[in-house]
Structures are given as structure tokens and as C-alpha cells.
């Protein structure tokens, strides 16, 4: 036991230096820490992982080994890289550039943005090309959609055609039958007065949208549960009062004071859990967990407990870790634990099936208790 304590002390000097040979972990806090593929320098100033690194949330580099490609970004002005075909690309925003894939856009090209932009968006097996001039005022797309915003615009989707005039004052749409949507029909709205939806499996009225609305929808899953009536949703007024009952959930919300949700299995209709919230998300009562942000979190199976800012315990993979104090207001964050939490952690323990290790005052006092 004494030899174990002396060996552990040799690998820690207060909160400033710590080494764990079994996990390749070293830390010179708060300057640098490393553990396996993770490296932090004055976190969150710089951090890196196996195939990416980030500096001050402004410079970012990532490698894609499976595609033999890489990219570098310096927000918000520069990016460059090599795509999956081995072709280089770059861009100086807003002057000019090309990017093969960014967000949901593919083959993005721009020149003197917002003067001109071109990009492709996936739609099923297709790739629709969109051009914009003086974004967002003029745009046209390869499927015939176009826009002279906010005067008039036409947008085509898989199962519907949408139009607007003097957006958002007048909007209307027509829908075709589709197995994944509410079916054939139409909708229109004169904002901010009134709108309605008339579709095969949906009826909706909107008064002073989006504040007041009543919606009825029909689905095979809902009928399969033995319901003869429609799924329903009432907002009166949104976001302060909302009630809905459908195949996925039963929900009542009186924002920001109260909310209760019962989730259902979409295929079987069986209950999959519930939550009751008070004060928006300050108090959350789940079936298996209680949260009072940031002061209290506890799981019924005992796998996690936090009494902020004093105590935190977490059990994973047969190891139960505990510590005092726990100033960070959310659950164990690996980067915070590697670089900062030791400065305020006065006591910690690690319990495994054979023994429990205790550490007091950053390892100055240590002891092990065998089971």
C-alpha cells in the first residue's frame, strides 16, 4: 500500500503537474495537457485530436483519411484544401472562391459576395444548382424556381410548389400526394392576419400567425393505435401555451413555467418515457433522472450525482469517480477535466471492484482502501 501511494505521488505535483502512465496522460496545468490523441494548449485557445486541430475557434484544420482529403479554415476570411478527387480548392471571402462541400451546400462558388453565388443542393438522387445575384434579392434554380425578393418568388419542392408576393405578407402553396407528407391539397396565408392549410391528412387554421393556430392531422400510425379522431395541436398564444397529441408524443407547455411530455413509440404506440419541466428547463424531472440546473442532478440507478458546486460522482465501466469541489456547472467535460478542474478539486476518489483510491489536497495526502 505504501509503495502504491509513493508511486502515485511521484506522478502528481499539486494541481500543476500530473501523469498517468496507463493512459498516456500528462498535464502541465494550465499550459498544456495531452491524453492519447488529445492535446490542449491553454484550453480552449488550442486543442487537437487525431485528425483535426482548432485555434481560438478561428483557425481550423481537418484531415479526412478515408477520402485522402483535407481542409483549412481561417474564419471568416480564408479557406483552402484538397477534395476527395485530389483537386485543390481555396477561397478568400468575400472576394472569390470555390468549396466542394460546406454546410449543406456542394460545389460552392462565389465572387464579390453577395454579388454572385452558385452552389448545388442534394434532393434525392438529384443535385439542384442555385444562382444568386445580390443575395438575397435575385436567385434562380435549375428546377425552375426563382425569386425577386421580397416582391415575388417561386419555390419547388419534391411534393409541393410554393409562392410568395411581398414576402411575408402573401404566401400560398399547392401539394401533391406523397407517402411521407400530409397529402394533396393547398395552403395560403395573409400575414399577419390569417392562414389556413387544407390537405388530405391535415387541416390547420392560423390566426395572427404564428401566435394562434389549431391543427388536425391524420396518420396511419395514429389510427393503428385505435384512435378514430385526428392528431391535434393547439397554440394559444404561441409560445406561451401549446398542447399537442399525436403518435409521437403528448405535450402540454405553459412557457416558461411548466411543460410535461409523454413520448410514444412511433411504431407501437407504447410509452417511451416522460419529463416534467418547471421554469423552462431549470427543473427537469425525467423517469430516470432529476435535474435542477445547475445545483442538482441525480440518476435513479446511482450512476451519476451532482450537488453543485460541492460534489460530483460518475460511474462508468465499473469505475466510480467522485470529487469535491465541482465548480464547473455541467457534467464531466474531458477538456475541462484535463486542464482546469484540478485547481478547484480538493478531494477525489476512484473506486474499482478491488479497491478505492483517495486523493486529498491535489495528491499531497493519498491512501488506498482494499475491498
Burial tier of 277 (Cβ tally within 10 Å: 0-12, 13-18, 19+): buried
Q: How far is CA 234 from CA 81, 172, 198, 254, in A?
A: 49, 22, 17, 12
Q: Which three cell numbers, joined as nine digits, stand for 222?
A: 395514429
Q: How far is CA 267 from CA 143, 248, 262, 330, in A?
A: 35, 9, 15, 34
Which range has the worst mean pLDDT, 1-10, 243-252, 317-326? 1-10
Q: What is the mean pLDDT of residues 156-178?
A: 94
pLDDT above 90: percentage of residues in the chain: 65
**What is residue 223's predicted lDDT score, i.e. its pLDDT?**
78
**What is residue 103's predicted lDDT score, i.e. its pLDDT?**
86
Residue 296: closest CA among 304, 287, 305, 288: 305
What band does 75 get if pLDDT is binned at 50, 70 and 90? very high
State how far the Cα of 108 lies from the Cα of 103, in Å rounded to an integer.
10
Q: What is the mean pLDDT of residues 114-142?
A: 93
**What is residue 268's predicted lDDT score, i.e. its pLDDT?**
60
Q: What is the mean pLDDT of residues 42-64?
A: 94
pTM: 0.77
Which range has the worst mean pLDDT, 150-164, 224-238, 242-256? 224-238
Q: What is the mean pLDDT of residues 149-173?
A: 95
Q: Tens digit of pLDDT for each residue in 286-340? A: 999 999 998 999 999 989 999 999 999 999 888 899 999 999 888 878 889 889 9
Q: Comparing 175 with 362, which gets the higher pLDDT?
A: 175
Q: Average per-residue pLDDT in the chain?
A: 90
Would you give the distance in Å from CA 196 to the centre of its chain? 32
Q: Tens digit of pLDDT for each residue in 185-215? A: 999 999 999 999 999 999 999 999 999 999 9
Identify the DSSP state of 326. Answer: -
CA angle 258, 264, 268 (to 5 degrees): 170
Is the pLDDT at 81 greater than 90? The verdict is: yes
**What is residue 185's predicted lDDT score, i.e. its pLDDT?**
95
Is the pLDDT at 269 greater than 80? The verdict is: no
Q: Comparing 223 with 84, which gets the higher pLDDT?
A: 84
Three-state SS at 37: coil
Q: Tens digit of pLDDT for each residue in 344-366? A: 999 999 998 888 999 898 888 88
Is the pLDDT at 54 greater than 70? The verdict is: yes
Rounded (10°) CA dihedral 294, 244, 196, 218: 140
Q: How far is CA 138 from CA 118, 124, 154, in A?
A: 12, 25, 12
Q: What is the mean pLDDT of residues 56-64?
A: 94
What band does 3 get if pLDDT is binned at 50, 70 and 90? very low
What band does 267 get if pLDDT is binned at 50, 70 and 90? low
Torsion sign (Cα): 248, 254, 255, 257: negative
**What is residue 11's predicted lDDT score, i.e. its pLDDT?**
76
Identify the DSSP state of 218. Answer: -
Is the pLDDT at 239 greater than 80? The verdict is: yes
What band does 9 get if pLDDT is binned at 50, 70 and 90? very low
Amino acid at each position: 500500500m505504501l509503495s502504491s501511494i509513493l508511486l502515485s505521488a511521484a506522478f502528481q505535483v499539486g494541481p500543476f503537474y500530473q501523469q498517468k502512465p496507463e493512459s498516456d496522460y500528462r498535464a502541465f496545468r494550465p499550459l498544456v495537457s495531452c491524453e492519447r490523441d488529445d492535446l490542449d494548449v491553454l484550453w480552449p485557445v488550442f486543442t487537437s485530436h487525431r485528425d483535426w486541430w482548432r485555434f481560438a475557434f478561428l483557425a481550423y484544420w481537418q484531415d479526412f483519411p478515408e477520402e485522402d482529403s483535407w481542409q483549412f479554415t481561417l474564419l471568416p476570411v480564408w479557406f483552402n484544401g484538397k477534395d476527395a478527387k485530389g483537386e485543390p480548392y481555396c477561397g478568400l471571402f468575400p472576394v472569390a472562391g470555390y468549396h466542394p462541400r460546406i454546410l449543406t451546400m456542394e460545389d460552392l462558388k462565389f465572387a464579390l459576395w453577395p454579388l454572385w453565388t452558385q452552389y448545388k443542393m442534394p434532393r434525392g438522387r438529384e443535385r439542384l444548382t442555385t444562382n444568386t445575384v445580390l443575395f438575397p434579392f435575385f436567385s434562380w434554380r435549375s428546377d425552375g424556381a426563382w425569386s425577386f425578393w421580397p416582391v415575388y418568388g417561386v419555390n419547388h419542392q419534391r411534393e409541393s410548389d410554393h409562392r410568395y408576393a411581398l414576402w411575408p405578407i402573401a404566401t400560398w402553396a399547392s401539394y401533391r400526394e406523397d407517402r411521407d407528407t400530409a397529402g394533396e391539397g393547398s395552403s395560403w396565408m395573409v400575414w399577419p392576419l390569417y392562414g389556413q392549410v387544407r390537405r388530405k391528412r391535415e387541416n390547420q387554421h392560423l390566426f395572427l400567425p404564428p401566435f394562434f393556430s389549431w391543427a388536425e392531422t391524420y396518420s396511419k400510425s395514429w389510427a393503428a393505435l385505435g384512435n378514430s379522431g385526428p392528431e391535434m395541436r393547439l397554440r394559444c398564444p404561441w409560445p406561451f401555451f401549446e398542447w399537442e397529441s399525436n403518435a409521437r408524443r403528448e405535450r402540454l407547455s405553459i412557457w416558461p413555467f411548466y411543460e410535461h411530455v409523454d413520448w410514444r413509440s412511433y411504431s407501437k404506440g407504447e410509452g417511451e418515457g416522460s419529463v416534467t419541466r418547471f421554469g423552462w428547463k431549470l427543473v427537469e424531472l425525467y423517469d430516470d433522472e432529476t435535474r435542477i440546473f445547475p445545483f442538482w442532478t441525480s440518476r435513479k440507478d446511482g450512476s451519476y450525482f451532482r450537488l453543485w458546486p460541492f460534489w460530483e460522482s460518475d460511474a462508468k465501466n465499473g469505475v466510480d469517480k467522485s470529487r469535491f469541489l465541482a465548480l464547473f456547472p455541467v457534467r464531466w467535460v474531458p477538456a475541462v477535466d484535463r486542464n482546469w478542474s484540478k485547481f478547484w478539486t480538493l478531494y477525489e476518489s476512484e473506486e474499482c471492484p478491488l479497491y478505492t483510491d483517495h486523493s486529498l489536497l491535489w495528491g499531497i495526502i493519498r491512501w488506498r482502501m482494499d475491498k
